[in-house]
Amino acid sequence: MCGIIGYLGNHEAAPFLLDALRRLEYRGYDSAGIATLNHGKLDRRRAVGKLVNLADLLVHEPLPGKAGIGHTRWATHGAPTVPNAHPHRAGRVAVVHNGIIENFRELRAELAEAGVPFQTETDTETVALLANHLMEGGMGPVEAVTEVLHRIEGAYGLLFLFDGEEDLMIAARKGSPLAVGYGVGENFVGSDAIALAPLTDRITYLEEGDMAVVTRSSVEIRDAAGQLANREIKTIRIDSARVDKAGHKHFMAKEIAEQPKVIGDALRHYLTPDSAAITLPGEGVDFTKVNRLLLVACGTAYYACLTAKYWFEQIAQLPVEVDIASEFRYREPPITEGTLALFVSQSGETADTLAALRYCKGKAARILSVVNVAESSIARESDLALPILAGAEIGVASTKAFSCQLTVLLILALEAARQRGAISAEKLTELLGALQGLPALFNAAMDSNALTESISADLSEVSDVLFLGRGRMYPLALEGALKMKELSYIHAEAYASGELKHGPIALIDSHLPVVVMAPRDSLFDKTISNMQEVMARAGKVLLISDAAGIAEAGDGVWQSVEMPTVAPELAPILYALPAQLLAYHTAVAKGTDVDQPRNLAKSVTVE
């Protein structure tokens, strides 16, 4: 949600800022802007829509200067217009912001009373106006920002630049991630390591409440209490090349295709080379002391948790509760003794998931997370963070992160089953062996790409799609529907197939495609009965199954997509692929913006 970048050095700032904003555009693309200091004089350029519009503007109206801040926006307060675009400027102050200032109305009223005029509908402008107002009252930049931070409430990553202060940039973080990057005679600030990686490999992640005073030759960090803080400088190894499309038309296509490799990476990390045993990092987890597992996440990561519930309950005999983070955090659920709380997040920065984690801290036996971004807030605030090793995921729709989350969660469920004596040695060996075969099955399943593309041409013409699944395939049906709607803007819903006759069957007619995800497993006959109920009402069924399933039940369906035969426990991971391909090709056929669907952002760091 909004990307921030800052540069203070001896080169022209604008090209650095623009390049970094390209890497941050996945965080928001409603508008973009930069401000620079040219011989102490502050100026800015802003444009609505994609970054390319700002780049065009800069060609016609260049912005010189060797210090600058930049922003790519996901709108919260105020429409995506030029006046509402960041950087916001008030007098001597320019600021970019990620987050929400919750008490901006009170501050606005106070400033209005003091005769300060407003030009935008944003919460962020209040920050610039307040800082400038304080400076007009005689404060210096550091003193003014310190006071602003005392006055504002809410979540923020903030970065300030000041007219007349050629060698100063001030960053502050509370609730939204921010990192300082160290160079030689130059320093940087950015929302994440992806933004900073090509600029420097030495990074400090600011902690909650930190304020950093940055010059070309120094970085001074103070904690929330105003004390000098000695934060660790980490050496990062993010290869900037990883954020290109590697010849694919879209990041999403690249990330779908990468799944065999990244699932293989995750397997190598968690299984011994002979696949005989599971190795968890650090102290691991003692599941014998756990009597209840709590899984909390948002969006696709939530559907990974729903799938994991089936694994932990069926294979490990461990009771599981799954919750949407935005609901969990305000419900004040009791956390009983012996509860293990597990949070799943690709970005590791999702505001609701992070708040849910903080709610559980000190209450749950232990806090675990399954994350992609290893240095994220959720990873850092967990007792044990389990990386999914999916690599940078740039497409807003989560694909490879989902299949890697599932892989790691299944491994964890198997480890829980082993420790709790809920699985026989033979069954464990069988499933670990099956897991090792998963990358090859993903490769084989890619054979369905051309067929899903031609089916998607038809899907792109419809206005609604229904997804059905039973048992472990039900969460995958939900994920398939989410992918379809967020990418193609086609209304898609998912139901547990047994629920069909309790209402949704009224929707069935010859115009509604119904995607049935049903490997030939122990629940197959039941799902197929539900599918027959759809076809008996002229419903148009797309059956996704294996060869045995299609041979047995494929008669009369509109289309069938064949998946390789897979161990039933692993089917939700493999069947993620056709769900992703259907959504991807439907979006391409409709001409929507695949990597940056409207209204969305990759990293949701606001509520």
Residues labelled as active-site residues: 2, 602
Least Å from the CB of residue 600 to ligand M6R? 6
List % helix, strand, coil for the chain (3-state, nearest 5): 40, 25, 35
How far is it, in rounded angstroms, from Cα 220 to Cα 343? 33
Residue keyed to tokens 């299949």: 403
- Footprint on residues 391-450 left by ligand M6R (CB under 6 A): 396-398
Least distance in angstroms from the C-beta of 485 to ligand M6R: 10
Decide whether 326 or 339 has the Cβ nearer to ligand M6R: 326
CB of 301 to ligand M6R, least distance (A): 4
**Cβ neighbours for 516, distance < 8 A, ≥ 6 positions apart:** 468, 469, 497, 527, 530, 531, 534, 541, 542, 543, 544, 545
Dist. CA 111–CA 101, nearest whole Å: 15
For residue 494, what are the CA distances in angstroms to 18, 174, 467, 488, 507? 40, 37, 4, 16, 12
Identity of the residue, 489 or 558, whose beta carbon is nearer to ligand M6R in the bound complex: 489
486 binds ligand M6R (CB under 6 A): yes
Residue list 585-604, contact with ligand M6R (CB under 6 A): 604
Rg of the chain's alpha carbons, rounded to an integer? 25
By CB under 6 A, how many residues form the interface with ligand M6R? Answer: 14
Compose the 90-129 pattern: x for residues touching ligand M6R by CB under 6 A, - for all others.
----------------------------------------
What's the closest the beta carbon of residue 256 comes to ligand M6R, in angstroms? 12
Taking the complex as a whole, the smallest distance from the CB of residue 346 to ligand M6R amounts, in Å, to 3
278 DSSP assignment? B
399: which DSSP letter?
S
Question: In terms of CB distance, is 211 or 262 closer to ligand M6R?
Answer: 262
Q: Are strands 187-190 and 3-8 parallel, antiparallel or unpaired?
A: antiparallel
Q: With binding defined as CB under 6 A, does residue 24 bind ligand M6R?
A: no
Q: Is the dihedral of CA 414, 342, 334, 496 positive or negative?
A: negative
301 binds ligand M6R (CB under 6 A): yes
Residues 530-569, mask of contacts with ligand M6R (x by CB under 6 A): ----------------------------------------
CA nearest to 6, candidates 201, 210, 170: 170
DSSP secondary structure, 129-163, as one string: HHHHHHHHTT--HHHHHHHHHHH--EEEEEEEEET
Q: What's at 450, amino acid-wise?
A: A
User: Which position's Cβ is nearest ligand M6R?
Assistant: 299
Return the structure tokens found at 458: 């038809």
DSSP-based three-state secondary structure for 424 = coil
Please select the residue that binds ligand M6R; options are 300, 307, 448, 559, rule is CB under 6 A: 300
Out of 299, 391, 480, 572, the only residue in the binding site for ligand M6R (CB under 6 A) is 299
- Closer by beta carbon to ligand M6R, 73 or else 418: 73
Alpha helix locations (H) across 316-462?
325-331, 351-360, 377-380, 400-419, 425-436, 438-445, 449-459
Binding-residue pattern over the window 257 to 296 for ligand M6R, x denoting contact by CB under 6 A: ----------------------------------------
Task: Select from 298, 389, 390, 534 the one that contacts ligand M6R (CB under 6 A).
Answer: 298
Residue 443, helix vs strand vs coil: helix
Residue 414 or 484: the one with the smaller Cβ distance to ligand M6R is 484
Distance CA 590, CA 485 (A): 12
Backbone torsions φ then ψ of 21, nearest 5 degrees: -65, -30
**Which CB, 350 or 545, lies closer to ligand M6R?**
350
| Interacting span for ligand M6R (CB under 6 A) from 130-138, 244-252, 274-282, 390-398 | 390-398
| Ramachandran sector of residue 40 (left: φ over 0; alpha: ψ -120 to 50; beta: rest) | left
Question: 259 vs 345, which CB is nearer to ligand M6R?
Answer: 345
Site string for ligand M6R, 319-358 (x = CB under 6 A): --------------------------xxx--x--x-----
Minimum distance, C-beta of residue 241 to ligand M6R, in the bound complex (Å): 23
Given a contact cutoff of 8 angstroms between Cβ atoms, the answer to whether 347 and 333 are in contact is: no
Element (H, E) at 36: strand 31-38
If the CB atoms of residues 371 and 550 are measured against ligand M6R, the closer one turns out to be: 371
Instruction: State the amino acid at position 170 in one-letter form.
Output: I
- Please, what is the minimum distance in Å from the beta carbon of residue 463 to ligand M6R? 21
How many other CB atoms are there within 10 angstroms of residue 310's CB atom? 19
DSSP state of 333: -
Residues between 200 and 259 with contacts to ligand M6R, criterion CB under 6 A: none
Nearer residue to ligand M6R within complex by CB, 543 or 587: 587
Q: 416: which DSSP letter?
A: H
User: Smallest distance, Å, CB 497 to ligand M6R?
Assistant: 23
Contact residues for ligand M6R, defined by CB under 6 A: 298-301, 345-347, 350, 353, 396-398, 486, 604
